[in-house]
Structure 1
Amino acid sequence: MNASPTIRPPQSVADFSREEWVEMRLIHTFMRYARPALHSALVLLVVMVAILYRHVDPLALGLWATATAVVTLSRYGVISIYQRNLVGVSGPPLRAFMARYGWTWPASAMAWGASMFIYFLKAPIYDQFLCMVVLVGMAGFAVGTFSSWLPCFRSYVNGLGISVVIALLYELVKEGGLPSTFNTYGMLALVVIYWAVIRVSGQRFHEVQRVNLELQYDNSTLIKSLTEQSRAALEAVEIKNRFIASAAHDLRQPVHALDLYAGWLAAEPEFVEQITPKIVRSTKAVNDLFNSLFDLAGLEADPLRVNPQEVDLAVLLQDLEAQYAPFARERSLRLRVRGATGQIRSDPVLLQRLVGNLLSNALRNTHRGGVLMAVRRRRGVPCIEIWDTGVGIAKEHQQAIFQEFYRIPLQGTEEGFGLGLAIVSRLSEALGHPIGLASRAGRGSVFWVELRG
């Protein structure tokens, strides 16, 4: 059985540079027209043999027809290789294919041009005329079918022109002088002029095709850019709407509580000791929300200025432990730190903010047990890991938690405003430190930061 052609997924304009895409399309256009051209060549070969077999040397005609058929069939083989392995391919493999098999086109052209040795000044004038019309038609046909790929077009036309000119020069030498009728000289002049015209026509047709393809590429790129901008604008509107709705929801409760506590305090000042802590908690909730919003707005409005330098991992983890240990004690959690010696290159301030947000998120969503912060290697890359024994994150939520205002709709994850991990995502992109996550609902989570660079 014949092997079925290799099927490759379609490649979009975005996968290539402008020149690569245009070159790929030109070669594929060239190969698309190659097989119909061969069908025509086989038919013309039969026609020429039928015209000449009674009027020229049968042996010479047979040798020429055999050689021409072999070259034509070899071009069928080349096209089969292309269709089996290279449809949809671009770049070096496609150029290598054309460089390896491009010789079959000039070889075929020279074989056809060599027919002049068989019939010129040997067959009846009417038969000569018909055979020359075939050669003229093949040269003109090449402008529309082969000019997509200029190297093959030029070599094909040159092969045809050179072989015809050699045949005419051979007849001039054989005649041994100036023919009385000037027929051969006139024929030679016409061939050279037509040869030049075909080359110029092919060049211009090729340029037209190239310009059209470049316009297609530019239009596709522009459409893709506009589509992405429209999508980004719609996403921005969606984020803004979510921002307004979420901020209003998150602010309503603590502000309403402040109003109630203030009214209570004004009506019954003797309860100041009981009311004051409640006012402090409500005020802290409002402040925390505004601080998170300002942090996120600052990251989006003003691109982060990263100041990479050597960061001591042991010092970084000690600072984070000192900062979050009181919060862990307040929640009756155990915060453990397993440091590591060594240094990495990063921005110490931004890296501390990134890991601090992960640590704060872990402590907020853990109600029993504790949190572990450690430095370990994953696939040879040092990573800061944050392990917790909290409520965990189901798989369907693990991508969405890095979006603004996204909170998992489960009991035990209501604290916070859904902004901490969004800030982590922004910091991760700015620093070039990818973040990872593994979690199971009800079993806890681990976040890690890859310290590349």
Structure 2
Amino acid sequence: MDFTAATRSATGDNVSREAWVEMQLIQTFMRYARPALHAALVLIVIMLAILHGGVEPLGLWLWAAAATVITLVRYGVISVYHRKLVGVSGPPLRAFMARYGWTWSLSAMIWGASMFVFFPRAPLHDQFLCMLILVGLAGFAVGTFASCLSCFTAYVNGLGLAVVASLAYELLTERGLPSTFNIYAMVALVLIYWTVIRVAGQRFHEVQRATLELQYDNSALIASLTEKSRAALEAVEIKNRFIASAAHDLRQPVHALALYADWLAAEPEFVAQIAPKIVRSTKAVNDLFNSLFDLAGLDTDPLRVIRQEIDLAGLLQDLEVQYAPLAQERGLRFRTRIASGRVSSDPVLLKRLVGNLLSNALRNTHQGGVLLASRRRHGAWCIEVWDTGVGIAKEHQQAIFQEFYRIPLPGTEEGFGLGLAIVSRLSRALGHPVGMASKPGRGSVFWVELPPAPPQR
């Protein structure tokens, strides 16, 4: 996976900036670690070829065996990472590095311990070649291991400590403290080079980290702009659909009003038959405008949510008084099953929300009835609206909360497709989740989850 794709994946999966940067640094570290091991195996063979016959063979072969074993162990660690941890971030990755990071330190110490084998026992030119290899290993670690600062530090420190220990051993045991100036100069050079390598690795790590952080921030910004652009395009599409649907729904009752007015003007004696039709058409226009004003108000004016403690039973009884006559007018039963309780919400907005659910249920129910209920569930209060209407298939259950969406089934022609869109907006404003379940042909249930009022002191 390339960096850009990985960044999009990380931001999409809500991986924190620090966790993503750490994951990429370890990924870079592991990507270069395997070629470094290939080079290490080659260098073991080169060291054997250089020192064979020039130093004591037992020590040389013991060192070569130890270097080979630790190299194979590091191969195993890298294989475990590639099998299980590629793309993993956070605690599992940190635990893995804490568990196996010592292998880099031990490897460096074994390489540094080669000084005990050849210094100063091998011929001078062989010593020079072997020291060049150790210097190269330290320099190579800057570009290879600096991505993982802890492993880089452990590697360089292990290598430096082993080399200094071998020089100190030579000073103290072989030649004594009043040794030649060359040995002291070599110790000084090792310490200076060790410091330079550590500083270079630290700087290189900081540059890599800063680059990745900038890349993450840029990708997060691009993702945010993309999301905002998508939302803006959706808003334009909704507005266009809104205008088209409103014009379509308004045309029919206005056209009917014009026909009835012409009819009344031509034949005033039929006023008794025409007047009810004019009233119905006027009511349809008025209902549409009321719904449009409600929805537009939710979009343009920020809702002021005034939370307070509400008597749930009293609020639902008020709704029963308001909607029971509408049910009776349509020949439907309106039942309630209300449990007493107190909730925290805005009474005006909550009543609008539940009222829209009741209007939707009554509009789409043609026989049977509607049940308004409240009950306690999982520590929260639920207001439920049950109906025996046409039901809603699964493929429509998300879309019904969009503006002007009406299910293309007989029995759903009434209304303008705005009631549940208003419910969705009020639900977000109040922070009260709305859910539903339905079986086509058998009816639906909508529910609103409400937090209980805090206990009175």
Q: Tell me how far apart the structure 2 counterparts of residues 240 and 385 of structure 1 sit (CA, whole Å).
A: 31
* Letter aligned with residue 232 of structure 1: A
Amino acid at match of 1:335: F
2-structure distance, mates of 1:330, 1:340: 27
Q: Distance in 1 between matches of 2:26 and 2:344?
A: 47
Letter in 2 for 1:176: G
Mean alpha-carbon deviation: is it higher for 189-198 or for 240-249?
Answer: 189-198
In structure 1, give the amino acid aligned to 2:395. Answer: E
- Work out which of the residue numbers 7, 10, 15 in structure 2 matches 1:12: 10
Which residue is equivalent to 2:455?
A: none
Find the aligned partners of 2:67 and 2:306 in 1 and give their Cα distance: 71
- TM-score (normalised: structure 1): 0.94
> Do the aligned partners of 1:11 and 1:88 also contact (CA within 8 Å) in 2?
no
Matched, 1:176 2:182: no
CA shift digits 1:336-378 (9 cap, x unpaired): 0111111122222211111111111000111111111112345
Q: Please name the residue that 2:242 is paired with.
A: 243
SS of corresponding position for 1:22: helix
Match of 2:58 in 1: 59
Contact 1:26–1:210 (8 Å) recurs in 2: yes
SS in structure 2 of the partner of residue 405 of structure 1: coil
Identify the residue that residue 349 of structure 2 maps to in structure 1: 350
* CA distance in 2: counterparts of 1:165 and 1:79, whole angstroms: 29
Query: 1:375 touches 1:384 (CA, 8 Å); kept in 2?
Result: yes
Match of 1:49 in 2: 48
1:321 corresponds in structure 2 to 320
Displacement of 1:59 = 2.1
Match of 2:22 in 1: 23
Moved more, 129-138 or 74-83: 74-83
Residue by residue, what CA displacement relative to the aligned partner does 1:381-434 show, whole Å, maximum 9, x if unpaired?
432221111111122211111110001112211111000000111111222222
Identity of matched residues, %: 76
Write the mapping of 1:29-428 to structure 2, written as runs, cut at 5 A: 29-173=28-172, 174-180=174-180, 182-379=181-378, 381-428=380-427
Contact 2:338 2:375 in 1 (8 A): no
The offset of 1:62, in angstroms, is 2.6
Residue type at the aligned position of 2:11: V
Matched, 1:447 2:451: no
Contact 1:435 1:448 in 2 (8 A): yes
For 2:444 and 2:171, how far apart are their aligned partners in 1? Answer: 92
SS in 1 for 2:370: strand
CA distance in 1, matches of 2:315, 2:404: 28
Task: After TM superposition, give the deviation of residue 255 of structure 1 in Å.
Answer: 1.1
User: Are the equivalent residues in 2 in contact too, given 1:147–1:206 (CA < 8 A)?
Assistant: yes
Shift of residue 302, structure 1, vs aligned partner: 2.4
Q: 1:310·1:344 contact (CA, 8 Å) conserved in 2?
A: yes
Q: Secondary structure at the match of 2:29?
A: helix
Corresponding residue for residue 5 of structure 1: none
How far 1:146 moved relative to its partner? 0.3
SS in 2 for 1:345: strand
Q: Partners of 2:415 and 2:76 in 1: how far apart?
A: 68
Counterpart in the other structure of 1:438: 437
Q: Is the 8 A contact 2:406 2:412 kept in 1?
A: yes
> 1:177, CA displacement in angstroms?
4.3
Deviation, structure 1 residue 192:
1.6
Which moved further from structure 2: 165-174 or 356-365? 165-174
Gaps (5+ residues) in structure 1? 1-7
2:294 touches 2:422 (CA, 8 Å); kept in 1?
yes
Q: CA deviation at 1:54?
A: 1.1
Give me the whole-angstrom Cα distance separating, in 1, the residues matched to 2:125 and 2:290.
96
My pick for the range that moved more, 119-128 or 427-436, is 427-436
CA drift at 1:273: 2.7
**Which one is further off, 29-38 or 334-343?**
29-38
**SS of alignment partner, residue 69 of structure 1:** helix
Distance in 2 between residues matched to 1:163 and 1:427, nearest whole Å? 70
What is the root-mean-square deviation in Å for CA atoms of aligned residues?
1.8
Q: Give 2:188's aligned amino acid.
A: A
**Which segments of 5 or more consecutive residues in structure 2 lack a partner in the other structure?**
1-5, 453-457
- Distance in 2, matches of 1:444 and 1:193, equals 82
In 1, Cα distance between equivalents of 2:22 and 2:198: 20
Shift of 1:197: 1.7
The 8 Å contact of residues 112 and 135 in structure 1, kept in 2 or not, is answered as yes
Change (3 A) 1:73 1:270: same
Alpha-carbon shift at residue 259 of structure 1 (Å) = 1.7
The whole-number CA distance in structure 2 between the counterparts of 1:201 and 1:445 is: 68
Query: Residue type of the partner of 1:447?
Result: F
1:27 and 1:225 map into 2 onto residues whose CA distance is 27
Contact 2:25 2:147 in 1 (8 A): yes
- Any conservation in 2 of the 1:432–1:452 contact (CA below 8 Å)? no
Q: Is the 8 A contact 2:10 2:20 kept in 1?
A: no
Q: Is the 8 A contact 1:30 1:145 kept in 2?
A: yes
Secondary structure of the equivalent of 2:384?
A: strand
Q: CA deviation at 1:289?
A: 0.7
Aligned mates of 2:169, 2:243 — CA distance in 1: 89
Kindly provide the amino acid, as one letter, of the partner of residue 266 in structure 1: A
Question: Which deviates more, 351-360 or 191-200?
Answer: 191-200
Mapped to 2, the partners of 1:431 and 1:192 lie a distance apart of: 66
2:105 and 2:152 map into 1 onto residues whose CA distance is: 9
Matched pairs, number: 444
Distance 2:347 2:69 in 1: 72
SS of structure 2 residue aligned to 1:128: helix
Bigger Cα displacement from structure 2, 163-172 vs 76-85: 76-85
1:303 shift after superposition: 2.8
Per-residue deviation, residues 239-293 of structure 1 (Å, max 9, x unmatched): 0110111010111111112222222333333333332222221111111111111
Relative to the length of structure 2, the TM-score reads 0.93
